[in-house]
Amino acid sequence: MKKAAYIFAGLVAIATVVVWSTGGFHTGWTQTRIPVTGTDEITGITYTQYEDGFVPGLDVLGGGLIAAALIVGATLGVQFLKSKKS
């Protein structure tokens, strides 16, 4: 049971890093609107428009790693309580 919990925590941490990497290791906040730049050929104006999308940021990375740490922490806590009872 303990081993399964550690493996699960590890998978959560790895999955979080993988998800974060799909967004190019974005170090800002998670983006759900992606800026796309273009240039108007007549005026030369460079403009920005937004498209719907998802770029995970440090908040997703942090949240996932904290969740993995909580799983490990909870497992250790349960072990500690069990050892105290016995």
Partner 1 sequence: MKNTIKATLILLASAAMAAQAASYNFKDPKGVNTVRFSLDAPLESISGTTGGVSGDVTFDAAMPEKISGKIVVDATTLEVPNPVMKDHLHGDGWIDSKKFGEITFEITAVKNVKKTDKGVSADLVGTFTLKGVSKEITAPVTFVHLPGKLEARSNGKMKGDLLVLRSKFTINRSDYGIKPGQATDKVAEEIEISLALAGYAEKK
Residues in contact with partner 1 by CB under 8 A are 28-35, 38, 40, 42-50, 55, 57
Least distance from partner 1 to the Cβ atom of residue 25, Å = 16
Of residues 56 and 64, the one with the C-beta less far from partner 1:
56
Least distance from partner 1 to the Cβ atom of residue 48, Å = 5
Cβ contact 22:55 at 8 Å = no
∠ CA(38), CA(31), CA(33), 5° rounding? 45
Number of C-beta neighbours around residue 71 at 10 A: 19
Of residues 4 and 42, the one with the C-beta less far from partner 1:
42
